[in-house]
Amino acid sequence: DADVTQTPRNRITKTGKRIMLECSQTKGHDRMYWYRQDPGLGLRLIYYSFDVKDINKGEISDGYSVSRQAQAKFSLSLESAIPNQTALYFCATSEPTGTSGYEQYFGPGTRLTVT
């Protein structure tokens, strides 16, 4: 089984709808991240969480919110989806300390289309 899983893998939704993307991990890592990937722009950080009670905004948090329900679960919500939120969304995890903390483990991604 994959260490980092994301659901759904694909989603098409309409402008104005609320949508939640879910991420679960079995790596036992405290740190979790949400990124979006757009052609030509690479991966950009939306939110990150160091533990259940520590959530931080990333580079592009406007229009998004997150919930860390447990160490293993980190959800991303779009309260009112808009077309320019169409992108590939990735969840990632990492260890907190040492040089290994710079390695992030990514899920398979969720392709979101907002029409």
Binding residues (CB under 8 A) for other proteins: these are: 4, 31, 40-45, 48, 58, 90, 92, 94, 96, 99, 101-109
Question: To the nearest whole angstrom, how small is the minimum distance from the Cβ of residue 80 to other proteins?
Answer: 27
Nearer to other proteins, 79 or 103 (CB): 103
44 contacts 55 by C-beta, under 8 angstroms? no
Question: To the nearest whole angstrom, how small is the minimum distance from the Cβ of residue 46 to other proteins?
Answer: 12
Question: To the nearest whole angstrom, how small is the minimum distance from the Cβ of residue 16 to other proteins?
Answer: 29
Nearer to other proteins, 9 or 14 (CB): 9
Nearer to other proteins, 45 or 52 (CB): 45
Q: Specify the length of the chain in residues.
A: 115
Nearer to other proteins, 85 or 104 (CB): 104
The maximal CA–CA distance of the chain, rounded, in angstroms, is 43
Q: How far is CA 24 from CA 33, 34, 52, 90, 108, in A?
A: 11, 12, 13, 12, 11
DSSP 39: T
CA distance 62 to 12: 20
Question: To the nearest whole angstrom, how small is the minimum distance from the Cβ of residue 45 to other proteins?
Answer: 6
